[in-house]
Amino acid sequence: MTRLCVFCGAKDGRNPRHREAAEALGRALARRGIGLVYGGSSTGLMGALADATLKAGGHVIGIMPEGLVGEQAHTGLSELIITPDMASRKARMGVLADAFLALPGGFGTLDELFEMLTWSQLGFQAKPVGLLNSDGFWDGLLVFLARARADGLIGEASMALLHCDDAVEGILDRLLPRG
């Protein structure tokens, strides 16, 4: 089974378009037969993504460090994997997924996104990494990355590792093209 690992917020935030994008992504994954790997939370954009995927008949694997299980763990997943810590969580996500995608989120989302990009840059993995630019959420990050590239701090080949699209179907076609 082809699997997409999605990083996103455990909060909803204030922009309802981000939740709509998470739900649309979940439905698209199920429709395409792509399994979801994500952080395992029942809350925020994470919960919306998982619920939409499951409701549409998709397969969802949550991966959560034991310190966060408590009230946040989604109990209705196809599978919930508990890891000892965040590093183990990211390593397990890296093994199970065929590609990585970031939706809107905070520090954790950025940490996971940049770790996967760094792994690609260093040759530790060759899996695609992308951004779903829901309602322009990632525009500021893209400006920053363009500046870092212009200043010679990120090379062209490294910039090419990050795919971006503002549409669910568009980013899925870039990351996991239909066979």
Q: Is 97 left (phi over 0), alpha (psi -120 to 50) or beta?
A: beta
CA torsion 76-13-133-55 (nearest 10°) is 20
Beta strands in 8-52 (DSSP E): 35-38
Can you list the residues of the chain whose pLDDT is less than 70?
A: 1, 179
64: left (phi over 0), alpha (psi -120 to 50) or beta: beta
User: In terms of DSSP bridges, do strands 3-7 and 35-38 run parallel, antiparallel, or are they unpaired?
Assistant: parallel
For 65, the token pair is 């460090």
The 3-state DSSP class for residue 121 equals helix
Residue 163: φ, ψ to 5°:
-100, 145
CA 118, 134, 81: angle at the middle one, nearest 5? 55
0.75 exceeded by pTM: yes
The full set of domains in the chain, from first to last, is 10-173 (3.40.50.450)
pLDDT for res 137? 98
The pLDDT, as a whole number, for residue 69 is 87
